[in-house]
Structure 1
Amino acid sequence: MDTLPPEIYWNIFMINTERGDEPLTSLTVIAPESDHRLDTARHCSQVCRLWRTLLLQFSSVWGRLLHLQNLEHTTDAWMEVVASRIGEASLWITGYVTDSTRPFIFAILEEKWQNVQVLEIWDESLYSNKVLPTWSFLEREAPNLEEFQLSKNTRNDFERTARRILPFSPLFRNRAPRLKRFTLWEPFHFSLPTPWMANLHSVTFFRPRNGPLVLSALKSMPLLRELYVTGGNTLQPMFPAQDGGFDKPHLPLLESLILDDFYHLMDMIILLESITLAPGQRSLRTLFMPQVYKEDHQRVHRAITKWIYAYMSASPPRHLSLDEYDQVLTIQDIRVIGEGMQVHIAHDDTQSHVTIEAIVASLRYSVVEKLDVVLRDSAPAWPLRPLFEALHSVTRLEADGSYTLFDDILQFSLFPNLHTVNVLNADETMILPTVIHFLEQRVLTGSPISVLYLSSFPFSDASSWFSDTIKERLSKIPDLSVIVPEDSEF
């Protein structure tokens, strides 16, 4: 290994500095935990004289390792060693500020702010009289900053609503030419034009007070891919009027739209209506909207279905969940962490059929293979019939909590390719006869079910509901496999 060029070693050591970031799935502020990246670099520097010599030369390695939780229980001497090794490298500064790490990290921020590439900081003492002035470097230019996130991370909702606005303005003296991700969980002043917004790929607006200004800002973000907005429970709405000739930002590269916690429904609706996408845009892969209240139905449905259609067209789901409770339908596309869709729709009004039809249109070329259905309080399935009919490619059905579903599926001859059924959390004495009748009729219509999962049933008490008649009827269904818990004596 002594013959390897230094560049190979540098690449290996830099790989060990990478963070295991996960994309946001909701607007939740979570402080990071410690990791082992700094320990790995320290241990590598102790392997042999060559490795130590190289690592001490590679300040870029140490500049990425300023994660505060890794320095929380170390000595002042070790922190000084780390600070001496970063040189003039680009800096990644992340983590939760505590009293023990504050002097160390703020000395670096004050001295080397121009070198900071990533700053993701949680500071619960942010607004204290002694701490807030130490953040004044935010008013200086940030020539190398690419990712920025700042949060007080309070769990007290009253304190969140009553907190002050950050006094630093303009941020970065309006110069942060490399900034791609901007997440500030605190209210702040900004005025347009703000040049650093032009290159943003991801932006978070936390409880903004000026909705028209937000829309104007979005107009200056043509490269935006991720947009997160939380409305909050402030008394004053973001938009003072429902129709005010607001700007219509065009976001042709948008991949992720996450809206959360809107006390004023119309604020969310105006945002949904105002943002425009490119015709046939196929980039949207994450869509999250909170439950909307039952008012101004026609406008609500029109705004929401526009986005559902855009998502379904861009990211056809393979695993779809439909959850109906108290006349609110939750549609969820279950995917990897950080991607997917979750939308809540009230469907008790005269416009609900328009929403269902719009969703059906977006599923015209359905590729959904697995469908989870939750009908709470034994709600009937027939209002969702057009949606079920569009899901012709479903092969696996998971039904949770309703025996009426199987009556409706049978009545309308839905899911012609269905071969596997999983029944969860139901009243066994009521649902089993219905399910068995469904299985028997599927055989008669030439579309038999081959696998029935009863793995969630309480088989410790199976004798009380699994009668000889039930077992005999199941045994007569050809080529049917019934899956029960592995520890069951049944």
Structure 2
Amino acid sequence: MDALPPEIYWNIFMINTERDNETLTLIGSSSDHRLDTARRCSQVCQLWRNLLLDSSSVWGRLLHIPNLECTTDAWREVVACRIGEASLWITGKVTDSTRPFIFAILQEKWQNVEQLEVTDNSLYYKDVLATWSFLEREAPKLEVFQLWTNMPYEHFRKNPEPILPFSPLFSNTAPRLKIFTLWEPFHFSLPTPWMANLHSVTFASARNGPLILSALKSMPSLRELYVSGSRLEPMFRGEENDLDKPYLPLLESLIMVNFDNPMDMILLLESITLSPAGQRSLLQKLFIPRVDETFPDHQRVHRAVTKWIHAYTSASPPRHLSLSNYDPILTLADMRIVDGREAMKVDLFFDNNQYHVTIQEIVASLRYSVIEELDVSLADSPLAWSFRPLFEALHSVTRLTVDRSYFESFFDDILQFSLFPNLHTIDLLYNNYDTVVIPPVIHFLKQRVLTGSPLSVLDLSSFDAAWLSGRNKKRLDKIPGLSVILPEDSDV
């Protein structure tokens, strides 16, 4: 191994500095092995030690705060010496014991910080806030900036929500910044040059909707947008007819949460443009919460939301769609896992007059879909018929999972309309009422045989075996070509 060139060793040591792809949690308290690995590698032999001690770029990436929590001051000073003038990655949760060490580095070497992803739950303590003053200085190397504080919601009931006082951030100079997450309101005025190159931005506890839209208009490269509504006051003053209309052709992710003021969310959804007609959207992740049922114009809400459903399904056709309702909320979700969450989850409020129109709009937005798996968990009601146009549009479904009290009316529908021509598997989720559920299912399965579209699998493994009668087991056994997974088979 002594014959290997130094560049190979350096590349190997740098691989050790890479973090997991998972995003830093809001707590950021978990330690990892990277700093220990570098220290042990420096003790293998004299060659490795010399190489590592000459590689400040390795040590500069290893400032993960939990790894320094239970170490001696002497070891911390060794680490501080070894980072030299390298680019710095500083991550994790700041604690009282690590604060003096980490903030001494931040104050002295802020110009070298490349990634800063930290949680500081004491941020607004008077003696702590002043130590963050380096945020007003230029950040020539900064690429990732994520700052969280977990102040309890009860705090905001008694005190005005604080605004980070440092303005302008980074002295308006952070030319390499790509990811910006700040879970605190902050002062900014346009133009803000460092926003122009952002790929990911978070507006949390947002206060000024028109200013946010104007800022988005200056982010042509934006790929990820996370917006949390203000808890205390509206982002927009009524309708505001002169809003900017940001064009975000590269947007891949929209996540919206905590909108206590419905009009705020609606105006944002209406104002942002993704791509012109005829061009394919790039949207791959969509999370839109429900609008409170007290909002008077549900038709407007549904138009705004279905525009985004259409953008999502045209860019990323879902293969696994989930429909569930808890009156009066309908939830549509694409069940693929993307970075630990659904790729799409949209909540919509319905009233008796709105179901049919909105389902028709959703059907139009799904016209590019190739859904193969459908999960249905809908409370049975007189409004169930409204979903028929949607079911009729899903021609590619091969596996159907049905839950709760929707069983009987659902199978009446799919029998009447000959839905899901490619269906081969039905999974019936837990239900104790065998005498109510199984007969219409058996009738449907027999009709599928008669029409030349038999099913291959009926999965009853989630049923309670005590409620599944022997008579119905025999009736199922007589259906040609059908394999039935019974409760007693579930452990096999």
TM-score scaled to structure 2, two decimals?
Answer: 0.94
Between the aligned partners of 2:369 and 2:298, the Cα distance in structure 1 is 27
Query: Residue 312 of structure 1 aligns with which residue?
Result: 313
Stretch deviating more after TM superposition (413-422 or 397-406): 397-406
Per the alignment, residue 118 of structure 2 pairs with 121
- Residue 299 of structure 1: aligned partner: 300
The structural deviation recorded for 1:375 is 1.2
Equivalent pairs: percent with the same residue? 69
Between the aligned partners of 1:488 and 1:197, the Cα distance in structure 2 is 54
- Output the amino acid matched with 1:221: M
Cα distance change, pair 258–477 in 1 and its aligned pair in 2 (3 A): same
Superposed displacement of residue 52, structure 1? 1.4
Q: Which structure has more RCO (C-alpha within 8 Å, separation ≥ 6)?
A: 1
Q: What are the Cα deviations for residues 373-423 of structure 1, in whole angstroms up to 9, with x where unaligned?
A: 111356764211111111100001111112122222212111010001111
Find the residue that maps to 2:376 and give its secondary structure: strand
Q: Which runs of 5+ in 1 are unaligned?
A: none
1:347-387 superposed Cα distances (whole Å, 9 cap, x missing partner): 32534433322321232243111111111356764211111
For residue 373 of structure 1, give the secondary structure of its aligned residue in structure 2: strand
2:97 aligned residue: 100
Q: Go from structure 1 to structure 2 and tell me whether the alpha carbon gap of 1:229 and 1:473 turns closer, same or farther (over 3 Å shift).
A: same
Following superposition of structure 1 onto structure 2, how do residues 354-373 of structure 1 map, counting pairs within 5 Å? 354-373=357-376
Instruction: Indicate how the Cα distance of structure 1 residues 196 and 453 shifts in structure 2: closer, same or farther if over 3 A, else same.
Output: same
Question: Which residue of 2 is the match for residue 441 of structure 1?
Answer: 447
Deviation at 1:135, TM superposition (A): 0.3
- RMSD between aligned residues: 1.9
Pick which of 56-65 and 154-163 moved more.
154-163
Instruction: Indicate which of 258, 261, 272 corresponds to 1:261.
Output: 258
Which whole-Å CA distance do the structure 1 matches of 2:27 and 2:396 have between them? 39
**1:74 has 2:79 as partner:** no
Is residue 428–residue 457 contact of structure 1 (8 Å, CA) maintained in 2?
Answer: no
> 1:489 Cα shift?
10
Q: 1:374 aligns with which of 368, 374, 377?
A: 377
Match of 2:2 in 1: 2
Q: Which residue of 2 aligns with 1:483?
A: 485
Task: Name the CA shift for 1:389/1:344 in 2 (closer, same or farther; >3 Å).
Answer: same
- Distance in 2 (CA, whole Å) between partners of 1:258 and 1:23 is 15
Q: For each residue in 1:322-348, what CA deviation from the matched residue of structure 2 results, as whole angstroms up to 9, or x when unmatched?
A: 112213211101123336111011232
Deviates more, 1:270-279 or 1:427-436: 427-436
Per-residue CA deviations over 1:105-139 (Å, capped at 9, x if unaligned) read 00000000000000011111111111110000000
SS at match of 1:482: strand
Contact 1:373 1:399 in 2 (8 A): yes
Counterpart of 1:16 in 2: which secondary structure?
helix
Superposition deviation, residue 74 in structure 1: 1.2
Q: CA deviation at 1:206?
A: 0.7
Match of 1:210 among 184, 208, 211: 208
Match of 1:241 in 2: 238
In 2, Cα distance between equivalents of 1:180 and 1:194:
14
Spell out, residue by residue over 1:220-260, the C-alpha distance to the aligned partner (whole angstroms, 9 max, x if none).
111111110000421x2110121331111111111111111
Which residues of 2 match residues 161-240 of structure 1 at below 5 A? Answer: 162-234=160-232, 236-240=233-237
Instruction: Give the C-alpha shift of residue 198 in structure 1.
Output: 0.5
> Which residue, out of 357, 368, 393, partners 2:396?
393
Distance in structure 2 (CA, Å) of the matches to 1:273 and 1:201: 21
Query: Structure 1 residue 426 and structure 2 residue 426: aligned?
Result: no
Contact 1:92 1:118 in 2 (8 A): yes
Unaligned runs of 5+ in 2: none
Counterpart CA distance in 2 for 1:308 and 1:488 is: 36
Say if 2:120 and 2:148, in contact at 8 Å, map to a contact too: yes
**Counterparts in 2 of 1:310 and 1:186: CA distance versus 1, 3 Å:** same
- Alignment match, 1:346: 349
Alpha-carbon distance in 2 for matches of 1:23, 1:488: 36
Alignment counterpart, residue 459 of structure 2, candidates 453, 461, 466: 453
Normalised TM-score (structure 1):
0.94
Q: Distance in 2 between matches of 1:90 and 1:300?
A: 47
The number of aligned residues is 482
Name whichever of 256-265 and 154-163 sits farther off. Answer: 154-163
More off after superposition, 439-448 vs 60-69: 439-448
**Cα distance, 1:50 vs structure 2:** 1.3
Q: Which moved more, 1:268-277 or 1:40-49?
A: 40-49
Q: Distance in 1 between matches of 2:463 and 2:334?
A: 26
Among 416, 422, 444, which residue is 1:411 paired with?
Answer: 416
CA contact (8 A) 1:301 1:351 kept: no
Q: 1:449, 1:313 → 2: CA distance?
A: 30
Amino acid at match of 1:474: L
1:157 Cα deviation from its structure 2 partner: 4.5
SS at the partner of 1:222?
Answer: coil
Offset at residue 16 of structure 1 (A): 1.1
Structure 2 residue matching 1:407: 3-state secondary structure:
helix
Provide the residue aligned with 2:286 in structure 1. 287
1:331 matched to 2:328? The reply is: no
- 1:35 Cα shift? 1.3
